Amino acid sequence: MFNHAILRQPGPDFAAGLTTAGLGIPDYSRLLDQHRAYAEALASLGLQTELLEPLPGFPDAYFVEDVAVVVPELAIVTRPGALARRGEELPMLPVLARHRPLARILAPGTLDGGDVLIVGRTAFVGLSSRTNAEGAAQLGRLLSAHGYQARTIAVAAGLHFKSSVTSVGGNTLLVSEAFAGRPELADFQQIVVDAEEEYASNTLLMNGTILTPAGFPQTLRKLEGLGMPITLLDTSEARKMDGGLTCMSLRF
């Protein structure tokens, strides 16, 4: 059961954030509406939501997932891989210190939380343009001290590992075609997302309900087969900034 979610309000400078999407100019008021609906969806699932103020000068700071990895035993504050995002993690230190003992990823390690997927006691750590081997090794040591088994996996497609692979309960992963059949994921059942719906791979199972982006009918049909309640959320504006559902909160 997840009890708590930390979110950060997107700031008016958000369109200056990093993006490769090429999906056009994002709209601030739509983003705020979508962000509010996302926060309300988490609250309706029993999470107490903590909404932080925008961070001026850090237009991607509402993608809070990237600056920490939180497990029941501790919170690990990351060292973000993109230079433009380095510094976003600092204001998260006092916030998380109220909830967990803290640890940090240290230079020369880099790690974005979007590259970390924890399923039971397995922690997948994507090696990506944001997360380097040193950052993954530091995270692995911190988590293995608490009984997790860390497994690295190369992120050859998409921004972060969780852009392409998420957990939809039990032993089942939702995976993009690029990750389907990867030997590192062989212990898991896989629901494969069609290539044209790749964005929907970033889906979030929260307290027994599946939150998934609106507009991906084939993936929705596949998820319906799991027999869990599903909430569709419009993420069009975050998508224009390469962000998705998991990116916009820290849940624990």
Q: Beta strand pairing status for 122-127 and 230-233? A: unpaired
Q: Check: CB of residue 243 under 8 Å from CB of residue 21.
A: no
- 41 CB contacts (<8 Å, ≥6 apart)? 211, 231, 233
The alpha-carbon radius of gyration of the chain (Å, integer) is 17
d(CA 133, CA 156): 14
| Binding flag, residue 213, ligand CIR (CB under 6 A) | no
If binding is defined by CB under 6 A, does position 32 make contact with ligand CIR? Answer: no
Q: Compute CA distances 203 → 19, 53, 197, 209, whole Å.
A: 20, 25, 12, 11
Minimum distance from CB of 118 to ligand CIR (Å)? 14
Give yes or no for residue 239 binding ligand CIR (CB under 6 A). Answer: no
Q: Does 247 bind ligand CIR (CB under 6 A)?
A: yes
Binding status of residue 38 toward ligand CIR by CB under 6 A = no
Spatial distance between the Cα atoms of 210 and 83, rounded to a whole number of angstroms: 33
Does residue 160 belong to the site contacting ligand CIR (CB under 6 A)? yes
| Residue among 159 and 193 whose Cβ is closer to ligand CIR | 159
Which of the residues 163 through 192 are near ligand CIR (CB under 6 A)? 163
Query: Is residue 243 a contact point for ligand CIR (CB under 6 A)?
Result: yes
Binding of ligand CIR by 63 (CB under 6 A): yes
Smaller CB separation from ligand CIR, 11 or 186: 11
CB of 187 to ligand CIR, least distance (A): 24
Is residue 35 part of the annotated active site? The answer reads: no
Find, among 67, 88, 78, the residue nearest to 142 by Cα.
Answer: 78
160 belongs to the catalytic site: yes
- Determine the interface stretch with ligand CIR among 57-65, 99-107, 144-152, 186-194 (rule: CB under 6 A): 57-65
- What is the residue whose two structure tokens read 């997302």? 193
Cα torsion at 80, 82, 87, 90 (round to 10°)?
A: -10
Nearer to ligand CIR, 65 or 197 (CB): 65
For 49, other C-beta atoms within 10 Å of its C-beta total: 16
Task: Out of 26, 114, 126, 213, name the contact with ligand CIR by CB under 6 A.
Answer: 114
Could you list the residues that contact ligand CIR (CB under 6 A)? 17-19, 60, 63, 65-66, 82, 85, 114, 159-160, 163, 241-244, 247
Residues catalogued as catalytic: 160, 247
